[in-house]
Chain A
Amino acid sequence: MIRTSTQNDLIRYIYQETDTEENIEIQTAAILNGALAHELHELEQTVSSITAAERVPSESIIDKILSYSKSYDLHSLK
């Protein structure tokens, strides 16, 4: 049985909110506890899938945004 506090720590670890000491503790615990390692792997896999499902805007829109910024002083003077 994995403690709830440890499970919550896994979430903080995945989202890089743990400090170096906590990282070592979690990595060590995962080596010693198969169930914890399995949960960590599944959570990381799910987060990666969410990231992979992000959509990508077109380059032309990004170019328009950057152009607007570069010419800001021109249109703010009008």
Chain B
Amino acid sequence: MRKYEVSDSQLISLYKNGNEDAFAELVSRHKNKIFTTIFMIVKDHDLAQDLLQETYVKVVNTVKSGRYNEEGKFLPWVSRIAHNLAIDHFRKAKRYPTIVMEDGSNVFNSLEFSEESIEDRQIKEDTHALLRELIKELPDSQREVLMMRHYMQMSFQEIAEVTDVSINTALGRMRYALINLRKKMDKMNVAYDKNIYPE
């Protein structure tokens, strides 16, 4: 987990005063988490990209028109917009999501692995896709805490309040989510991230 020298709140203040670089930093900082939140719902890369754009259009409109609420945290707020848009998409379409295979990672995804072989890259992407599926298989209460803490970056205290449980229950659910994921990964021989933990 990273801590940044300039907080999201400071970046928002700068952005309100017209600093577009501050907005670029905010987008860059959280784009993967928000995109993954959307993707895990819609399972379609192109659709997820459209919804990511739509999410940030709402962010821009809200902040630039002076309607952004300073009391909330930036990432949980944006994540909620993204989540709602993804859900709304299916409500409007009145159908269940089309099952799309996780192929075709774009050229920009590929660039970051340019020194790897195609086979290595495919294995890594397959592993990541499987891990995302394993997260979906977690019990609802555990998956909910994991999504709120990991992707929406809500504190455990905030999660406890939103889900109406004690902070120890929220922490326990997160711990079991991680332990269960670990067990599932071990069972399916999913490799851990070798960039961080080389063998």
Contacts and interface: CB of A to CB of B under 8 A. Distances in A.
30 contacts: A8-B168, A11-B171, A12-B156, A16-B3, A45-B197, A46-B178, A46-B182, A46-B192, A47-B150, A48-B192, A48-B193, A49-B190, A49-B192, A50-B131, A50-B146, A53-B132, A55-B32, A55-B48, A56-B31, A56-B32, A57-B49, A59-B108, A61-B52, A61-B53, A65-B27, A66-B24, A69-B56, A70-B20, A72-B61, A76-B64
A22 interface: no
Interface of A: 4-5, 7-8, 10-12, 14-17, 42-43, 45-59, 61-62, 64-66, 68-70, 72-73, 76
A17 B128 contact: no
Contacts of B36: 53-55
B1 interface: yes
Nearest to B57: A68
A62 B108 CA distance: 12
Contacts of B65: 76
Secondary structure of the A side of the interface?
helix
Contact of A58 (B49, B128, B174, B192): B49
A39 to B, nearest CB: 9
Minimum-distance CB pairs A-B, first 5: A53-B128, A8-B171, A52-B193, A54-B32, A65-B56
A42 B185 CA distance: 12
Contact of A15 (B39, B108, B156, B197): B156
A42 B190 CA distance: 14
Given A43-B175, A43-B179, A51-B150, 15 more contacts: A8-B172, A11-B174, A12-B156, A17-B156, A49-B193, A50-B150, A50-B181, A52-B128, A52-B195, A56-B109, A62-B27, A65-B27, A66-B20, A72-B60, A73-B64
